[in-house]
Chains A and B, each alone.
Chain A
Amino acid sequence: MSRVGWIRLAVLAIAIGLLELCCRLGLIDQRVVIPPSEMAVALVRLLISGEANEQIVRTFGIVLLAALISVVAGFALGAVIHALPRARQSLDPFFATYYAVPIFIFYPVMIVIFGLSAIPIVLMGVATAIVAMIIATLNGLDRVPQVLAKVARVHRMGTIATALRLKLPAAAPHLFTGVKLAVSYAFIGVIASEFILAPAGLGRVISDAYTDFNNRQMYALMLLLIIVATLVNMFLHVVDQRWAERRGIAKP
């Protein structure tokens, strides 16, 4: 690992160590924050006991489903919009504003329409993630070199064959950026919805544990969520960067 990497690790270790020390010394009330070591122990116990397995599977399943829907539908919509320049121009202000609007204000509307089930949560996940994928698709298709379109014409490829065998691979690095964003946005959308109101799921269990002053369970599950989200995001980030380098569009 590089020097910078070691320093980063040291910074994180010191931060966690300080938190542990403050908790142990009583500078931070244990009713507010429990020491990180106890969080880890609580998490391991919880995982071994298997009590929360159902909720864990449920939440991560919903995140996965929402991300999948967003990626597939986002790519399809992006491809269609890209083919219609006039529609795309009109949609520009919409895309520019989309993430400025806190979409969670529409979550209660979804609950009223679809009832308190997994459907509104999946929809919120898709709603937060899909537009990032559409924008990334548009960006990616913009950067497909003109010459490839000519190649397709020379080979008399159909529209779908051109899209799948030529445009898709050429736009792939940008599309992957969309996938990365879609996954992390789906995470945020699903978990936030579960926090606000949900029949089950990790967000619900954490917020219940908070209301019950069950700090051990709360911090254990928080730690789990943070670890999983960080690992997934880091993995996607690394793959994204590799891909970008290989295609010669290295990002800073």
Chain B
Amino acid sequence: MIASRRVADTVIILIILLLAWQALHQLVGATALPGPVPTLAYLAKFVPSERFAENAWATLVCFFYALLLSYGIGLAFGVWMGIHRLSGAVGEPILISLYTLPKVTLYPVVLLIFGLSLSGRVTFGAMHGVLPVALLTMSAIRNIPPVYHKSARTLHLSGWQTIVTMLFPATLPEIVAGLRIGFTLTLLGVLLAEMFAAKQGLGSLIINAMQLMQAEEMLTVAVVLFAFAALANALLLWIEHRLHHRV
């Protein structure tokens, strides 16, 4: 019942968005903003093409590496700062202020260090994703109720058993929330990097299409990315809800 209503709500929002798109199209004209119908027709033609596949693959590879780095480094820092109170207290405000910083500012530095390469884009993507993963992992570990620690000690659990049966299940939901935000921001970072300077990838495809005034292609790529991000987020949100209601 609730699930079907959510689906209905999502459909309603999609319809409203499409109507708003159509209205804006009527307002500004077809050259600036093609309507939903021509764009979707173009999408059906463009997505199976070679050029799209190449660029999408470039973005995916870059995103995959960036995500690995974000999760690896973020989790390591988060666990360390969660367990070691002092490092957490010292590091948290630093991480928070880095989190709120517009990190695009630093992209030229990344470019100077790595050049116009895959590693530069991966680094920049990871710079966005690491911070939320680390911050939420840290708070997940800190928010474990003290009684869990006590019961682990009462049951004489070994270190490894404590981790597997207590620490891991207790922190999982919040860590998954961190991973979800990390996913989102890493994608944002990778796309920003591609939009600013890259020869391949979906981000550069959008910028090229804009310079060539190919509004249809630009919108097509934007729609594909929108759908990808929204679906991935919905999936991760679903996992998160399942974990929260598991207990």
Contacts and interface: CB of A to CB of B under 8 A. Distances in A.
Contact of B106 (A93, A96, A222): A222
Given A100-B229, A234-B97, A225 B13 contact: no
Contact of A102 (B24, B93, B111, B225): B225
Contacts of B230: 97, 100-101
A230 B97 contact: yes
Contact of A7 (B33, B86, B108, B215): B86
A111 interface: yes
B195 A101 contact: no
A46 interface: no
A31 B206 CA distance: 31
Contacts of B105: 191, 195, 203, 206, 222, 225-226
A104 B188 contact: yes
Interface in A152-207: 184, 187-188, 191-192, 195-197, 203, 206-207
Contacts of A99: 184
B1 interface: no
Interface string B138-155: 010011000000000000
Contacts of B37: none
B247 interface: no
Interface stretch (B48-56, B71-79, B231-239): B231-239
B100 interface: yes
Interface stretch (B4-12, B159-167, B168-176): B4-12
Given A12-B94, A97-B233, A222-B109, A188 B219 contact: no
Interface in B53-94: 86, 89-91, 93-94
A84 to B, nearest CB: 13
Contacts of A90: 9, 12-13
Interface string B218-247: 110110011001101110010000000000
Q: 10 smallest A-B Cβ distances: which pairs?
A: A100-B233, A108-B210, A210-B108, A90-B9, A191-B102, A102-B188, A184-B100, A233-B100, A188-B102, A192-B104
Interface of A: 4, 7-8, 11-12, 31-33, 89-94, 96-97, 99-102, 104-109, 111-113, 184, 187-188, 191-192, 195-197, 203, 206-207, 209-210, 215, 218, 222, 225-226, 229-230, 233-234, 237, 252
17 contacts: A4-B89, A91-B13, A92-B6, A92-B9, A93-B234, A96-B233, A101-B226, A105-B206, A108-B206, A108-B207, A191-B102, A192-B192, A195-B192, A229-B101, A229-B102, A252-B139, A252-B142
